Amino acid sequence: MNIRIRLMSILVGASGVAISLPSMIASPAVDQELAQQIFDTMLQVHGVQSGFRPVHAKGVVCEGTFTASKEAAALSRAAHFQGTPVPVKIRFSDGAPDPHVPDFSPEAGPRGLAMRFTLPGGEKTDIVAMSHNGFVVGTPAEFLALQKAVVATDPGKPHPWPVENFLGSHPLALKFVQESGGTAPASFGAEAYFSNALSPL
């Protein structure tokens, strides 16, 4: 395993795990504190690139109109499924924290898809998805432990590295690392995306 490439891909899990923080932690105060720890630890790996997000840094935003099929209204009462055209913004992105990584690089995965539907009356519905099916770990605390393992890993030191120990004891994280690279899709629109939770665009 090329650990440098995989370490960069691991960070993308933030986009999935951070989305689910409110539902996974009981107290809002603890939620906010843990989310801040995760964010601060992630920045220790790559630092801050002015004007860019810490993950999924490179993307393109498209605007259009979403019109649900006639069958959608029978499946959901959601406002954007009732057949009326709804404005939508979509952001396709590479997963890498480095905005200069080429789209075809193994470091660019997994790809992201974020959608914002503007509903009648000004309300909004947001959906976030990525090309990996599942979360990198099961809890925010585990994700913080993963980020700390990445920070503590020095490729100049002998194996096993802290991140290797973590991956060895967390099969979901290992699966994420193994599946997040690979070749680029023919287009972002042809990629399969999996939505695990809701989050702002």
Q: Is the pLDDT of residue 201 over 70?
A: no
d(CA 110, CA 193) in angstroms, rounded, equals: 10
- The answer to whether 130 and 15 are in contact (CB under 8 A) is yes
Is 56 one of the catalytic residues? yes
How far apart (Å, rounded) are the C-alpha atoms in residues 201 and 19?
11
115: CB partners within 8 A, 6+ apart: 88, 89, 90, 91, 126, 127, 128, 129, 201
Closest CA to 46 of 36, 55, 34: 55
Q: What is the pLDDT of residues 79-101, one digit of tens each?
A: 999 999 999 999 999 888 888 88
> Domains (ranges, CATH) in the chain?
3-197 (2.40.470.10)
**pTM, to two decimals:** 0.76
Choose the catalytic residue: 56, 80, 132, 170. Answer: 56
Distance linking the first and last C-alpha atoms of the chain: 33
pLDDT digits (tens, 9 = 90+) for 127-180: 989 888 888 898 889 999 999 999 999 999 999 999 999 999 999 999 988 887
Q: Sort strands 86-93 and 194-197 into parallel, antiparallel or unpaired.
A: unpaired
